[in-house]
Structure 1
């Protein structure tokens, strides 16, 4: 059982998946920063100076030391924008990679010398 697990864990697919998850996490942080620090302020400015992180529905206001209870729907909107941008970027990169793979010409495999010789003999026999 340990040998089977070792074979599974050291397969190329599992290692590729692990690398993909790590890179995806780092990519997610970059896109989150892009959305939070660049895009959302611009979108907020276009919509009249709205800061989406401040949008909330207060259920119970703060009383003394007890903090308010609120639904932070602005953060939810920001998370949706994060998701849409990340999914678009991943779609775009996969599309680019798949186009590059299709463009690479694949040279036809040359038949073995014996097959070429037999084809020549066949053609000579047909000609007679």
Structure 2
């Protein structure tokens, strides 16, 4: 696999499973936290789905897998992510596309799994997650 700025890129000829649903949301929904840049020219690809804008990596923002994103139904809502003995509230600004990927619009990354909270660096810092865990980190989340 190739990597570009800590992101895993698609492998030529690779097969990737699309997901249009995610596990049910509860008070402690299990998820996998991934690191994303929401800035222009960052590894998140294009502007955010909710507002067609880019966002600083220094603010608490997340993208949710397609099913949890709920056709923009969670746009601008806050979620509470818990992990590493800490909690943080962050605003949903984007979809972590579980249906499409491996193209320029998705920064040549595979489709997201159905259990992803793709978070800005600020969320990782607030949760105290170490940079060497940048591949991902198990968390729980709920609507705030």
Shorter-chain TM band = under 0.3
Structure showing greater Rg: 1
TM-score scaled to structure 1, two decimals? 0.21
TM-score w.r.t. structure 2 length?
Answer: 0.19
Q: Comparing both structures, which one devotes a greater share of its residues to strand? A: 2
Which is helix-richer, 1 or 2? 1
Structure with the larger RCO, 1 or 2 (CA within 8 Å, 6+ apart): 2
